[in-house]
Each structure stands twice: as structure tokens, then as C-alpha cells.
């Protein structure tokens, strides 16, 4: 069975050596991180109740809850109310969304996953790379990587009692046994989670898929699959297969903008057909981006990576605006979405969130720009402000159109929003 996970940022791998140098010493109180959008499916309330059970059993713990806390306000309030009712304010801290989760992995001892349903949680992969113990029920893809008592602990179910029991079992192990588990976890993700390994596996998977399904005359389309319309995938594959392949296109993007291909395009002046493929209804976005961000011969219209798998996509805007009331974007769910949210945040050059807007993915009309209207217009935006685009709880991959300007040979890519600011 081919097992491909999202690549783990090197910053998490860099946290392991200093933790190993300290022989994976556990802090007092035990620092627990619980990560994910506050919502019933993530079941954070069970993790909080487990913390109370650990305290009653004589274990000092401090729980750090990180993740968006404003998308499911009723559930977030229920969690906070329980903490207040039980007098846990000094033991459970709600941090909300954080842009630098690595600092929690650097300073916590254990990741507690309490979700009722999961895919392959990125937070688990990050913990394994960081030398942070993983305790989780066997949900989704967790048990594909976590083998009970080998590189983590699997709770019997998602109840507070079993979550607490699994944490207590880890604490009762000897120092040497805990170190063995953490080293095993690091070895597991040390191969599967490296970007070089993931890229190689994805390229091989792409090749296998198209060798078995594409006609011999369609080689050019295969080479340039990131430029294909999403509908082209759906016409050729079953929806589930199309969804899987679409999720991988961002990795092929890395190959597309590799140094050899950049040099080849500079020499051959290869045409960029996606500008011609996009519907004329996006002309106002094209005109605005051309006028305000500029346009060079090398610029390419692309689909971004899957936004449902990252915290957000961020674009720095190097021009000022006297007022901003709405933004039009080209949203592209690669398969029709039935659940989930997509939103924008306007962030000042001093990292202050000035405004935001959220829409249901189910309401996004295919092939039309999506408008995000701010509740209150933002005035006097100074150059250097940032546009963030995020997706939460989507059941399908979601991308947006963006303009990519590759360096000819050396240097990094520049990305601009394919958008209209109003």
C-alpha cells in the first residue's frame, strides 16, 4: 500500500535534537497541546474533561488549546463554560488561532487528539517530528502511522476516561521507554514526512495514474497537469480518484517551477495557455491584477495549492488603498463542495487583523468570481498590508487562481492574488 502524507516543515524536525539532548524530560506541570478548530467533530471538550480527570488523579497538567475558536461559537462557548464551572482557568488556556504553532511543539510534552473523525492530522505529523508524544484514539488515518506503544499511544475510544488513561500510561513509563517511543515516532516521520520523499512519491503516483488512463496522444496535457481545468479530471476519472489526483497538483507545481524547466521556458518562450482557458467573466479580475500588480511575459495564471490542507494563503500587497469594502476572488473547488467555509482576512503591515469575511463553500458558484464583502469598509490601508485566504472544514480540495511570476533561473517565485479590490 502506498502511504503519502503531507510534508512536514523542517522547523519541526529541528525541534527534535534539543529535546533528545535533554533526554525528553517531561515538565511539571505536564504541558499538553490540543490543536484544531474548536468544533464538535474535534471533540476538544473530551480532552478538557480528560485533563480534569488527570488532575483528580494527582497529575499536574496544563492544556494549550490552539485553533480557530470563532467558527463554531456555540461549541467554543460550551468548552469555555465547562472550564469556568470546573475552576480550570489555570490549567486550560484557549489561545485561538496561532500563526506559529511550532512554538507549542517546542514547549509542550504531549499532543492529545480527541477527534471523533480525522483524516491524516497534520498536527500528529508535526508532533512526531518534534519529539512530542502522541496520544489519540484510532480515528481516520491515525493508526496508519501510530502503532500502539511503539511510536505513540492509541486510546481505546474518544471518551475523557480513555483519553486520560492513555496519558497516564505514558506518564507511568520509564524515561528510557518514553524515549524509545519518541525516537520511533521520529524515525517513522523522518522518512515519510520529508518533502523530498513526498515529492518523489507524488510524481510516481501521477505517472502511474496517467500511464493507465491517458491516451497516448495526450502527453503534453500530462506534463502540464497543473494547467488543466478541474473538469478535465472529472471527465476522465471517477470523482473520488479525481479528488485524490487534484489534491496532489501542488506538489507537481514544485516540479513545474524547477530550475531546468524555468530555463527551458526562457529559451523556448513556451505559451501559457491558462490565460486563454479562463472564462471572460474573470476579465475584471484580470484587468485589476494587471494594472496594480503588473504583468510580465513570464507571469502564469495557476491554481494555488489545496487551501484546505494549510492554515491560509497569504499575499503581500505593496500598494496603498484609500478604502477597501470587498474583494472578488476566483475560487476553484476541485470537486463540488457540500460543506466547509472559505474566508479572507485583511492584515496590516503590523500584523493586526483589520477585517474579515467568510462564505459557505456550498454557495460558491462554479466558474464565477466570488465576492467577499467586509462588514465595515477599511480606510487608509498602507502599503505592505496582506490578504489571507483560508478554508476550513471542507470535504474537498479547494484552490484559488493566482498569478505566479517565476525567476528565470535563480531566485524564488513571486505570487500575486488574481483578484479585484473594491
CATH of the domain at 38: 3.40.50.2000
Residue 170's domain comprises 10-193
Q: Give the 3-state secondary structure of 142-177.
A: HHHHCCECCCEEEECCCCHHHHHHHHHHHHHCCHHH
User: pLDDT (tens digit, 9 = 90+) per residue, 18-38?
Assistant: 999 999 999 999 999 999 999
Asked if residues 30 and 107 have their Cβ atoms less than 8 Å apart, the reply is: no
- Based on the domain organization, do 238 and 356 belong to the same domain? no
- Segments of 318-384 assigned E as strands: 321-329, 331-333, 341-347, 353-360, 370-381
In this prediction, residue 332 carries a pLDDT of 76
| 199 vs 180: which has the higher pLDDT | 180
Q: Give me the mean pLDDT over the 334-350 stretch.
A: 84
- Based on the domain organization, do 222 and 189 belong to the same domain? no
- Based on the domain organization, do 83 and 172 belong to the same domain? yes
User: pLDDT (tens digit, 9 = 90+) per residue, 95-110?
Assistant: 999 989 999 999 999 9
Does 403 fall in a domain?
A: yes
- Based on the domain organization, do 240 and 279 belong to the same domain? no
Asked if residues 32 and 61 have their Cβ atoms less than 8 Å apart, the reply is: yes
Q: Quote the cell numbers at residue 369.
A: 468570481
Residue 224 class from Cβ within 10 Å (0-12 exposed, 13-18 middle, 19+ buried)?
middle
C-beta neighbour count of 48 within 10 angstroms = 25
User: pLDDT (tens digit, 9 = 90+) per residue, 376-394?
Assistant: 999 999 999 999 999 888 7
Q: Quote the cell numbers at residue 135.
A: 496520544
Does 264 fall in a domain?
A: no
Alpha helices in 214-310 (DSSP H): 219-223, 230-236, 239-247, 249-256, 259-268, 274-277, 283-293
Q: What is the mean pLDDT of the chain?
A: 82
Phi, psi of 82 (to 5 degrees): -65, -40
Alpha-carbon distance 257 to 415, whole Å? 12
- Based on the domain organization, do 209 and 294 belong to the same domain? no
Q: Give me the mean pLDDT over the 261-268 stretch.
A: 43
Does 182 fall in a domain?
A: yes
Amino acid at each position: 500500500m502506498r502511504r503519502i502524507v503531507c510534508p512536514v516543515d523542517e522547523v519541526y524536525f529541528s525541534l527534535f535534537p534539543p529535546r533528545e539532548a535533554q533526554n525528553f524530560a517531561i515538565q511539571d506541570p505536564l504541558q499538553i497541546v490540543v490543536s484544531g478548530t474548536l468544533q464538535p467533530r474535534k471533540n476538544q471538550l473530551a480532552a478538557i474533561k480528560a485533563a480534569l480527570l488527570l488532575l483528580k488523579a494527582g497529575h499536574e497538567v496544563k492544556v494549550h488549546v490552539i485553533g480557530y475558536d470563532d467558527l463554531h461559537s456555540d461549541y467554543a462557548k460550551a468548552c469555555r463554560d465547562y472550564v469556568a464551572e470546573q475552576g480550570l482557568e489555570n490549567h486550560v488556556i484557549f489561545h485561538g488561532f496561532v500563526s506559529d504553532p511550532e512554538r507549542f511543539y517546542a514547549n509542550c510534552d504531549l499532543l492529545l487528539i480527541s477527534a471523533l473523525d480525522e483524516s491524516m492530522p497534520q498536527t500528529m505529523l508535526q508532533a512526531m517530528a518534534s519529539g512530542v508524544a502522541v496520544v489519540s484514539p484510532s480515528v481516520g488515518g491515525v493508526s496508519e502511522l501510530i502503532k500502539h506503544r511503539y511510536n505513540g499511544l492509541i486510546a481505546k475510544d474518544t471518551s475523557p476516561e480513555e483519553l486520560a488513561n492513555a496519558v497516564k500510561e505514558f506518564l507511568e513509563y520509564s524515561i528510557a521507554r518514553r524515549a524509545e517511543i519518541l525516537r520511533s515516532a521520529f524515525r517513522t516521520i523522518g522518512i515519510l514526512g520529508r518533502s523530498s520523499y513526498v515529492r518523489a512519491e507524488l510524481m510516481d503516483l501521477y505517472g502511474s495514474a496517467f500511464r493507465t488512463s491517458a491516451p497516448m496522444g495526450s502527453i503534453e496535457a500530462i506534463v502540464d497537469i497543473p494547467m488543466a481545468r478541474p473538469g478535465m479530471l472529472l471527465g476522465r476519472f471517477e470523482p473520488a480518484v479525481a479528488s485524490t489526483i487534484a489534491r496532489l497538483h501542488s506538489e507537481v507545481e514544485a516540479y513545474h517551477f524547477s530550475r531546468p524547466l524555468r530555463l527551458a521556458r526562457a529559451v523556448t518562450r513556451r505559451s501559457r495557455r491558462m490565460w486563454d482557458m479562463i472564462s471572460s467573466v474573470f476579465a475584471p479580475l484580470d484587468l485589476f491584477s494587471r494594472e496594480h500588480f503588473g504583468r510580465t511575459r513570464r507571469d502564469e495564471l495557476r491554481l494555488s495549492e489545496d487551501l484546505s490542507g494549510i492554515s491560509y494563503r497569504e499575499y503581500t500587497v505593496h500598494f496603498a488603498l484609500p478604502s477597501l469594502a470587498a474583494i472578488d476572488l476566483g475560487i476553484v473547488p476541485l470537486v463540488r463542495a457540500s460543506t466547509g467555509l472559505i474566508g479572507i482576512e485583511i492584515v496590516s503591515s503590523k500584523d493586526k487583523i483589520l477585517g474579515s469575511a467568510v462564505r459557505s463553500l456550498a454557495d460558491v458558484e462554479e466558474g464565477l468570481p466570488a465576492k467577499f464583502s467586509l462588514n465595515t469598509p477599511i480606510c487608509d490601508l498602507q502599503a505592505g498590508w496582506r490578504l489571507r485566504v483560508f478554508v476550513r472544514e471542507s470535504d474537498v480540495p479547494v484552490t484559488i487562481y493566482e498569478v505566479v511570476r517565476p525567476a528565470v533561473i535563480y531566485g524564488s517565485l513571486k505570487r500575486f492574488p488574481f483578484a479585484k479590490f473594491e
